[in-house]
Amino acid sequence: MKKALLIFVVSVLAVASCGSAGGREREGDTTNVEQQNNDNSMNAKAENRTKVLMNTSLGEIVIELYDETPKHRDNMVKLVKEGYYDGVLFHRVIKDFMIQTGDPKSKNATAGQRLGTGDPGYTIEAEIVYPQFFHKRGALAAARTGDNVNPERRSSGSQFYIVTGRRFTEGTLQMMEERMNEQKKQSVFESLAAPHRKDVMKMRMAGDTAGVMKLQNELIALTEQEVAKNPVKFTQAQVEAYSTLGGAPHLDGQYTVFGEVVKGMDVVDKIENVETGDADRPTTDVKVISMKIME
């Protein structure tokens, strides 16, 4: 870490920068995810959760909404009752990763039209209940804009995605933990270093290499202390889910997961496997015909 952060101190501190990355793969398939999701439910009162029936042009999907994310639950219930989602497209479909919908601009969209920017005119406060809820296969999560323009990680008022993902070996998950901890250290270091940009520039102009090194070492020590308080560590439930069901662990803790598919993952798989074109939009429209709250 020291080498990477030294480069950052002497070359990047004076200019703010940001970025993100994430992979998307899946090994094999899971054929009984609804039953496994039910068996692995982490809420003893799951049977009382609100359920939504989504009728798509490729079949029906039943989604269960978490009570622990009430703002997202209530918002979806409100939009469903208004008929907001009726006629929207699955405008972004990425095999071995996820399927996304909820853009009102996708209703009656022309062929090739770029989609993904529509919303009801508001965002929702993040409700990231992690690690209880994570990006296992079948998870329902809210889309959002990136951290660079949305540091509070507020969710889109209407767009959401369903995770398909891939399965991971325990060894791969361990390597991911290590990589995610390094990314967390970089993020923490950058936030600690930001207030010292002017000081670093002055020391560089004065040729005070010792001063830069001293500050760097102090910031590295503070970074290590901060990350050690809450390191990235997959729970046993995550390891079990990602190694059997699959999912997208690199998204964990960054997006609000507010429900899961309890029936119809075969339909999700059909949508995931359609042919796509520019911007991951299906070449043949896949539509949400209607959504309704199940009594």
pLDDT along the chain (295 residues), means of 10: 46 34 37 52 67 98 98 98 98 98 96 95 98 98 94 97 97 94 92 92 93 94 95 95 96 96 98 96 97 94
In DSSP terms, 254 is beta-bridged to none
How many whole angstroms separate alpha carbon 288 and alpha carbon 172? 35
pLDDT tens-place string over residues 42-82: 444 567 999 999 999 999 999 999 999 999 999 999 999 99
**């020291």: which residue's tokens?**
2
How many whole angstroms separate alpha carbon 32 and alpha carbon 93? 22
Phi, psi for residue 104 in degrees, rounded to 5: -65, -25
pTM for this one? 0.81
- Extract the runs of DSSP E, i.e. beta strands, from the chain: 51-56, 59-65, 92-94, 98-101, 123-124, 139-142, 155-156, 160-163, 257-263, 288-294
Instruction: Provide the total of helices (H) and of strands (E) in the chain, helices listed first.
Output: 8, 10
Q: What is the largest CA-CA distance in the chain?
A: 71
Domains of the chain: 33-167+247-294 (2.40.100.10), 168-244 (no CATH)
